[in-house]
Amino acid sequence: MNKAGVFLVFLFFSVSLFAQNKWVLKKEKDGIKIFTRHSETSSFNDIQVDMDMPGTIDQLASILWDVAKYTEWAYATKTCRLIKKINNTELMYYAEFEVPWPLSNRDLCADVKLIKDSAAQSLKVVSVGIRDFLPDKNGIVRVAKSRGNWIITPLPGKAAIHLNYILEVQPGGAAPAWIINLFSTKGPLESFVNLKKKMTALNR
């Protein structure tokens, strides 16, 4: 193959890869937009949520910090408990998630950090699954990989904030990726509808 042919093949695969990794809007409800894209490291889609909600950064941070109440708003969360509070900006928690039969429930140990940017008046929340922090439980599949990034910024001139959230996850076990991907927007949409309701209730 000559140089021109090699270049065209390289260009074709580069364009294809770019197209596959582009965010695609899948659902929109009550101002909440849910996007997906093909992951570069997994067969499971990445998820992005983009939305505005009433309230302040500190109010949302308080909700995210109160892990014991995740069952009130986070989709399919059966139990959630604090493992360890490391300091005022970092903690670890354990959660179990209900999964429809015939699949097994999943669980997760996660490290959560709050990172404030005083100059931009914004908050970044990073939640990373720690695979081997606790022993596996019988009948429950440990999530193989999880990373959630929250970027929270105030909306100028409004008593409201903007939220951008990106989740990269490998749920583990034998669940086919194509089945998980079919339902990958349901959980985030319901979670963020519930979260927006909690923030709205705080600001009535």
In tens, the pLDDT along 65-107 reads 999 999 999 999 999 999 999 999 999 999 999 988 778 899 9
As a whole number of Å, the CA-based R_g of the chain is: 19
Return the C-alpha torsion angle 7, 9, 11, 14, nearest 10.
-140
Q: Are 122 and 115 in contact (CB under 8 A)?
A: no
Q: What is the pLDDT of residues 30-76, one digit of tens each?
A: 999 999 999 887 778 899 999 999 999 999 999 999 999 999 999 99
Q: What are the start-end ranges of the H helices in 47-117? A: 57-65
pLDDT at site 180? 58
Q: pTM for the whole thing? A: 0.85
Q: What is the pLDDT of residue 37?
A: 95
CATH 3.30.530.20 at 27-202, yes or no: yes
Buried b (16+ CB within 10 A) or exposed e, 73-96: bbbbbeebeebeeeeeeebbbbbb
CB 95 within 8 A of CB 84: no
- Domain ranges in the chain? 27-202
Q: Per-residue confidence at 170, pLDDT binned at 50, 70, 90?
A: confident
What value does the mean pLDDT take over residues 114-135?
93
